[in-house]
Amino acid sequence: MESANVVGYLDYNLSYGFNFFSPVFEKVDVSDLMLSDISLEDAGDGLSLIQIVTTGGALGATYSWMSAASTGEAEDCWFDQDNWMPVDFALSDGQGFYVYSGTANAKAKVNGQVRNSVFNVPLAYGFNCVGNSTPKDLDIQDMKLENAGDGLSLIQVVTTGGALGAAYSWMSAASTGEAEDCWFDQDNWAPISSVTYLAGEGFYLYCGTANGTLVLPSAL
């Protein structure tokens, strides 16, 4: 792609139950991506929730996707369950969260502009909920960590349904003898190969420092 301003949308297929999701793109006007830039299709009225996962791994606020027919609003939108009002707010780059789908054939659609450069996702000490916020699938080795602590930073993949999966360590070249810093498989203690994160897939990342960074490549 030659353009520096590629606009489009991504459909992310949702399974019935909890899905761990990270929205792709940035706003066309380079402002923050908003919750309203994410819509759900065929997800069930009032049954599909976003549970924002805060830094440290704790669950935060919950919002419902509601149809215009049931709320009287001009269009389908996200509702705050506490005050039962439409809600919208900015999403952080690389932020991950759970989406609960009430059906087996729902989709989350994200509208925006493709990032045309490498971008950094700030990490706090402890568990962070992040993801592949690019519109293309990434190999695990395409995602780098900086200032995250040698051997202390793990990716724990969250499978459909919310269960934790495999964990991997970010290791320095000095400690492994490899040509560069890379992700290691903890079971066989070798560099990881052929682990792919789908566009929009979320995961937990444990950072061993207070100022780590997840570096994601440009999608262009």
Mind listing the pLDDT tens digit for each residue in 139-190? Answer: 989 999 998 877 767 776 665 555 667 778 888 888 888 899 999 887 788 8
| Cα 2 from Cα 74, distance rounded (Å) | 38
Could you tell me which CATH class the domain 7-113 is placed in?
mainly beta
Phi, psi of 157 (to 5 degrees): -75, 135
Predicted pLDDT at 44? 75
Residues of the chain with CATH 2.60.120: 7-113
Q: pLDDT of 176-209, one tens digit each?
A: 888 999 998 877 888 988 788 888 888 888 888 8
Per DSSP bridges, beta strands 182-185 and 97-101 are unpaired
